[in-house]
A and B are shown apart, each in its own frame.
Chain A
Amino acid sequence: MSKIIGIDLGTTNSCVAVMEGGVPKVIHSSEGRNVFPSVVDPIKNIVGDVAKRQIIINPKSTVYSVKRLMGRKFKDASVQTDQKLLPYIVKAGKNDMAVVEVEGRQFTPQEISAKVLGKIKSDAEHYLGEPVTQAVITVPAYFDDSQRQATKQAGEIAGLEVLRIINEPTASALAYGLDKKNAHTIAVYDLGGGTFDISILELGDGVYEVKATNGDTHLGGDDFDKVILDYFAEEFKKENSVDLRKDPQALQRLRDAAEKAKIELSSSMETEINLPFITQGKNGPLHFVMKMTRAKLEALVGDLIAKTIEPVKKCLTDSKLTAKDIDEVVMVGGMTRMPKVVSIVKEFFGKDPNQSVNPDEVVAIGAAVQAGVLSGDVKDVVLLDVTPLTLGVETLGGVSTPLIQRNTTVPTSKSEIFSTAADNQTSVEINILQGERPMATDNKSLGRFILSGIPPAPRGIPQVEVMFDIDASGILNVTAKDKATGKAANIKITSSTGLSKEEVEKMRQEAEAHATEDMEKKEKIEAKNKAENTMYVAEKTLKDIGDKVKAEDKTAVQEKIKAVKAILDTGSKEELETKTSELSDVLQKVGAAAYQTPGTGDTAGAGAGKPGEEPKTEEKKDDKKVEEGEVVS
């Protein structure tokens, strides 16, 4: 039952995702990032960020963008073009296929990509905690059979059975669930790190088919960064007569700053670039300080963005469609985060593009959705309900004690142990409450029932387990069980999630509005409960060991008890707390003294009961730590 992973094996970066709990989740690399560079040093056997860091030392043996060579013959026009731009050696290998040659050894693009896939496999296995042997891998829509086969082989070399190769634009459509929305004709605008792809897909028989593709294989985010970098360098040169691009250290900082500025200007209208001590000038250190507005950035990159429109137009023509015929537009690739790119696309197609899914991850997520379908995980998306309001019971003092917090996914169950409030209390009333207020009267009572037949005992001794269980339909079952006798009573409430949206909202708002005064009220009640409890314990102690206690100590305790009693109903929270701790202190002294006197055996006694009191439950607070959240099977 192992998971099938979905892999976006990109030219510049790769990403992997998997279905978990019915939702696609991106698996982070061992370096903690959601994507990693598709860069490989096949001799040293390093992949990703680590390989990229030594590209300058070993430009001839660090292979990147190998996807450009995948499944192609050496004589292909595109290979011939790319070969001039790539620093490593590209040759004709077996069957005249393009291969790379590193330190005299030949590696097929499959073998290089297999190293990237191998890292993905191991990162995924680490994340999932189980072996991963199957995958879905995406490829550009224009990949021919030879290129698809090569991609599949790469997977096999890495130890992955490639269950399916799917098109990148199709994967993006799946990520947005467009097939479920029955979007008939979609356009996928993919502007990534190094390439631009536009695809038009049509839904036929529940599956997306590619009608036409177009693009620019050498247009991407890197080009945008370069334009910004050149602008920075030129401005600096004008002011300081120094070309920062000639200093590798300064160049690196400038490049990072250009990328950072580009990213910041996607969310701000202006940004400031500060690179102190960027280089040494004739008269000392020089600093690069510049403000850049979004308008300036858009002016600088305007031509690059415009370059994407021509391929889009051609693609529509090839599909025999117009912009109006497109039902949905999907944005893929980091560069589509730029507001100008989005607005140009929106203007062209006359509708808002889909961009809610992270554009760096959308293809991998789509692959994971496909993987989920293949493994039978995703036949229908199961949406679970949540309880809109907190559910609980009424406890001593009219307090509302929560058992199931609001927004808990259902079905769920929770149980807690409660006890009696008075000595010899033989029944408890369970009042089921719904709402966020701390006081029971301010919440809605969903129902109440009584559990009787509890054997008489001092207050706080009996153990009554109260269990809340909500099933998938939202029906709440509350059971109260006396752990001593096994006797139980229960009630079934059908409308626990039945409040209307407005009612739920109203209750929430009221809770917020009254939050402070509610909290004060609750704290006061808790102080009162504690005071009462301490009084009870004090009285009991005097009764039990009164003969061992010195007369003056006994009087001291009795006085303190009187003091607490006097303000029990009228005192403020602070007064109650003070008087209670005073009583507690003298009581402790008495208790300590009792251990000094040679004992005559202690009297176990039940305290004086108040059988006439209305049976309420009290939260059990004693040394035995009650376990919360016992799941009753």
Chain B
Amino acid sequence: MKKKTDNNKIDQHNEVEVWKGKYLRALADYQNLDRRAREEKDEIRKYAAMHILERIIPVVDTLTHVQKHIKDPGFDLAYKELWAVLHEQGVEHISVQGKPFDPHQMECIEVIDGEENIAVEEVLPGYTLHGKVVRVAQVKVGKIKNNPISE
């Protein structure tokens, strides 16, 4: 008789431990979710424009091409206006010309003759929003010709 009640007690104790564990885990998950939600909210507020920017940047690229090839004072003004707004919203051009290649801000699409490991030519401009990279710049990186590179 005694053993049976002991077993019951043990079983119940084990069950309690199981549920305690589940509860603590759920609570921990909840606290993590809470923390993350708060962090995400701050991120979203600051970088809300990121999503739109990512879609607009290629259009800005096209307009930049247009501006280079078509001389029109009206268009120039419009282009200037566009950039005034972008700057005001925190968009900045990533300066790459002549700088050492940095894969966090640049992507190399071609290697050409030039100063070793320096971004010699900007092929596509890169942009940041409040310091966060929206799109990396595409650059041509230099390599000294006839440099005895190891096999």
Contact = CB atoms under 8 A, between A and B. Distances in A.
A285 B26 contact: no
Instruction: Find the residue from B66, B104, B109, B151 having the highest chain A CB count within 10 A.
Output: B109
B24 A277 contact: no
Contacts of B107: 53-54
Given A129-B35, A249-B123, A57 B65 contact: no
Interface of B: 21, 24-26, 28-30, 32-33, 35-36, 62, 65-66, 69, 101, 103-104, 106-111, 117, 123-124, 136, 138, 141, 143, 150-151
Interface string A57-91: 10000000000000000000000000000000100
A368 B66 CA distance: 50
B108 A249 contact: no
B17 to A, nearest CB: 11
A54 B109 contact: no
Contacts of A53: 103, 106-108, 136
B32 A129 contact: yes
Nearest to B123: A249
Contact of A21 (B21, B24, B26): B26
Contacts, number: 63
Interface of A: 1, 20-21, 46, 50-51, 53-57, 89, 103-104, 127-129, 248-249, 252, 276-277, 284-285, 376-377
A20 B36 CA distance: 13
A277 B65 contact: yes
B25 A1 contact: yes
Given A46-B103, A129-B35, A57 B25 contact: no
Classify the interface of chain B: helix, strand, loop or mixed: mixed
Given A21-B33, A56-B110, 12 more contacts: A20-B33, A21-B30, A53-B108, A53-B136, A54-B107, A56-B141, A104-B150, A249-B109, A249-B110, A249-B123, A285-B65, A376-B21
A510 to B, nearest CB: 33
Closest 10 CB pairs of A and B: A277-B65, A53-B107, A248-B110, A53-B103, A54-B103, A50-B103, A21-B29, A57-B108, A56-B108, A276-B62
Given A20-B29, A21-B26, A21-B29, A252 B69 contact: no
A46 B107 CA distance: 14
Contacts of B21: 376
25 contacts: A21-B29, A53-B103, A53-B107, A53-B108, A53-B136, A54-B103, A54-B107, A57-B101, A57-B111, A57-B141, A89-B151, A103-B150, A128-B32, A129-B32, A248-B109, A248-B110, A249-B110, A249-B123, A276-B62, A277-B65, A277-B69, A284-B69, A285-B65, A285-B69, A377-B25
